[in-house]
Amino acid sequence: MSLYTDLDTAPRILLGPGPSMVPPRVLRTMATPVVGHMDPQFLAVMDDVKELLRSVFVTQNELTVPVSGTGSAGMEAALVNFIEPGDPVLVCHAGYFGERIAEIASRTGAELRTLAAPWGEAFSATQIAAELRAHRAKLVAIVHGETSTGVQQPLEEISEVVHAHGALLLVDAVASLGGVPFSVDTLGADICYTGSQKCLSCPPGLAPITVGSHAVNVLADRHSKVQSWYLDLSLVRKYWGTDRVYHHTAPVNLNYALREALRVVCEEGLENVFARHAAVSEMLWQGLEDLGLTLMVSPDLRLRTLTTVRVPDGVDDAVVRRRLLHEFNIEIAGGLGAFRGKAWRIGLMGHSARPENVLALLGALERLL
């Protein structure tokens, strides 16, 4: 007799920093029969995924594909493909994931400089301009929606400054794409990546990335091979392009799911998606303040898809989260880094961003606190 029973995981109300809840139709699509990764049927799926991704990134970039790996694989691909040993690189970090970008960049052999801001705050274009005047950079990396702090970084003026100094702009949009207004082409982001499991409401395992024409030329003109064979976009591009050159076995059913998740977004319409996220975030913020809780980011910088809340004095962060999970079936997350033990992180992303979920969380918190 087998010691292992059938899987029977309880469905959760996922209100953490990701993964978000997945629409039933996306889960059903994952049960579509597996075909080969070079099967004409799957190649057609790949074409659909690329077009749908361009719609959500709001870009015409030809090199727009899902990297086979989680969001961190997208982060690493975005860095190792465009940085060669000795390249001057500036990483702006004001949270845990900005620091991770700096850590990966340091491993490429870059001549790395970092610009830091306090957690819960954002950078100004003036700060970055001063840094670029003092030190040339080939690439500037910055996080649009910092999941550890709940800050949405304004980028328009920064993009102008970065390009005025002849640098590539790399944007982490893992927690923002598909949840707040964002256009790769309007912004002029040269490299931008996200994760499938946040606002796109697809299971974890894919990292969509889009690369502009200037960055594509930089990749083509490298003097050394990309450090990672698996994440080498010049090779991945040939698999996803018209040549269909075998590179790796793509996760077929995850791409089925991504196609369906992107269809869900496009059917609702980006403007309607953004309006829904805005409405439920306002509901959450007002409800938390009505409970006497303090939000950690000023209203002008708050990321609508991820809210950080100060843990009240005398309240055990972990105990509240554990009781939310076991008594109310609701998942939220604790703080990272400088916010560890001091903040709760509440995500309203994609399919999770619904009024009934906000009301359930607020009611549970009122009882527990």
How far apart, in whole angstroms, are the C-alpha atoms of residue 149 and residue 311?
14
Domain annotation covers residue 35:
yes
User: What average pLDDT is seen over the chain?
Assistant: 97
Across 9-19, average pLDDT: 95
Domain annotation covers residue 5:
no
| pLDDT score at 3 | 85
Residue at which a domain ends, from 235, 266, 297: 266
Asked whether residue 236 falls in the same domain as residue 278, the answer is no
Asked whether residue 290 falls in the same domain as residue 305, the answer is yes
Asked whether residue 67 falls in the same domain as residue 133, the answer is yes
Structural domain that includes position 284 = 13-18+270-368
**% of the chain exceeding 70 in pLDDT:** 100
What is the tens place of the pLDDT at every residue in 156-182?
Answer: 999 999 999 999 999 999 999 999 999
* pLDDT tier for residue 352 given thresholds of 50, 70 and 90: very high
Residue at which a domain ends, from 226, 242, 266: 266
Asked whether residue 186 falls in the same domain as residue 323, the answer is no
1 pLDDT higher than 60: no
In which region does residue 361 sit, left (phi positive, over 0), alpha (psi from -120 to 50) or beta (all else)? alpha
How far apart, in whole angstroms, are the C-alpha atoms of residue 270 and residue 264?
10
Beta bridge partners of 13: 330
* pLDDT tier for residue 10 given thresholds of 50, 70 and 90: confident
Domain annotation covers residue 281:
yes
Residue 22, phi then psi, degrees to nearest 5: -105, 130
**% of the chain exceeding 90 in pLDDT:** 97
Asked whether residue 51 falls in the same domain as residue 195, the answer is yes
Residue type, 183: S
What is the tens place of the pLDDT at every residue in 225-282?
Answer: 999 999 999 999 999 999 999 999 999 999 999 999 999 999 999 999 999 999 999 9
Domain annotation covers residue 8:
no
The answer to whether 199 and 60 are in contact (CB under 8 A) is no
How far apart, in whole angstroms, are the C-alpha atoms of residue 89 and residue 81?
13
Residue 266 CB burial class (10 angstroms; 0-12, 13-18, ≥19): middle
Asked whether residue 274 falls in the same domain as residue 261, the answer is no
What is the tens place of the pLDDT at every residue in 82-108?
Answer: 999 999 999 999 999 999 999 999 999
Domain annotation covers residue 327:
yes
* Pair of tokens at residue 220: 């083509």
How far apart, in whole angstroms, are the C-alpha atoms of residue 92 and residue 102?
8
Of 45, 70, 83, 61, the closest CA to residue 192 belongs to 61
Asked whether residue 117 falls in the same domain as residue 248, the answer is yes
Residue type, 311: V
| pLDDT score at 233 | 98
Domain annotation covers residue 127:
yes
Asked whether residue 79 falls in the same domain as residue 203, the answer is yes
* pLDDT tier for residue 12 given thresholds of 50, 70 and 90: very high
What is the tens place of the pLDDT at every residue in 57-81?
Answer: 999 999 999 999 999 999 999 999 9
Of 284, 347, 292, the closest CA to residue 315 belongs to 292
How far apart, in whole angstroms, are the C-alpha atoms of residue 126 and residue 311?
33
| pLDDT score at 310 | 98
Asked whether residue 96 falls in the same domain as residue 207, the answer is yes
Report how many domains make up the chain.
Answer: 2
Reported residue count of the chain is 369
Asked whether residue 114 falls in the same domain as residue 172, the answer is yes
Q: What is the pTM for the complete model shown?
A: 0.97
| pLDDT score at 96 | 97
Asked whether residue 118 falls in the same domain as residue 73, the answer is yes
How far apart, in whole angstroms, are the C-alpha atoms of residue 72 and residue 75?
5
**Residue 356, domain CATH:** 3.90.1150.10
| pLDDT score at 2 | 73
Instruction: Please give the C-alpha separations between residue 270 and each of 58, 307, 353, in angstroms, as whole numbers.
Output: 10, 21, 14
**Residue 62, domain CATH:** 3.40.640.10
Residue at which a domain ends, from 266, 283, 306: 266
Domain annotation covers residue 329:
yes
Domain annotation covers residue 1:
no
Asked whether residue 130 falls in the same domain as residue 232, the answer is yes
| pLDDT score at 291 | 98
